[in-house]
Amino acid sequence: MNTHPNARLTAVSRERLVHRQIQDAEPLSDLAEQAGISLRTAHKWLARYRAGGRAALEDRRSRRRTLRLTLDPHKLQQVIELCHQRCMLRRIVRQLAAPLSTVGRTFSFMG
């Protein structure tokens, strides 16, 4: 994956920053200032390194990490039937025990 064009640090320079803080015990605020990043960002890279090692310092994809929930065909049919019976959205949500946003999204496609 390519480094973001506006990124201040590459994976190599992030690793260098983390190692200087861990091995040389240099203050993280000084390292952040030298690298031209905020202290918060420096803490983020240090926490990622501690959690996942060198691989965690690579750029991440900006793609969603979770999928939107959808209703199974049986529940979808129930939503349609309850809608035709003029049931309110919140009643349908309670009856089907489905997330409000998911049922509401179904309503928007029916409208």
**pLDDT tens readout for residues 33-70:** 999 999 999 999 999 999 999 999 998 877 777 766 78
Check whether residue 20 and residue 48 sit in a common domain.
yes
Question: Which one is predicted more confidently, 6 or 24?
Answer: 24
Instruction: Domain count for the chain, please give it.
Output: 2
Q: pLDDT value at position 92?
A: 93
Q: In this predicted structure, what is the pLDDT of residue 47?
A: 96
2 within a domain of the structure (yes/no) = no
Confidence of residue 1 (pLDDT cuts 50, 70, 90): low
DSSP string, the chain: -PPPTT-S--HHHHHHHHHHHHHS---HHHHHHHHT--HHHHHHHHHHHHHHGGGGGSPPP-S-SSPPP---HHHHHHHHHHHHTT--HHHHHHHHT--HHHHHHHHHHH-
Domain with 37, as residue range(s), is 11-57
Of the chain, the percentage scoring pLDDT greater than 90 comes to 57
Do 15 and 50 have their domain in common? yes
Average pLDDT, the chain: 88
Does some domain include residue 84? Answer: yes
Residue 26 shares a structural domain with residue 51? yes
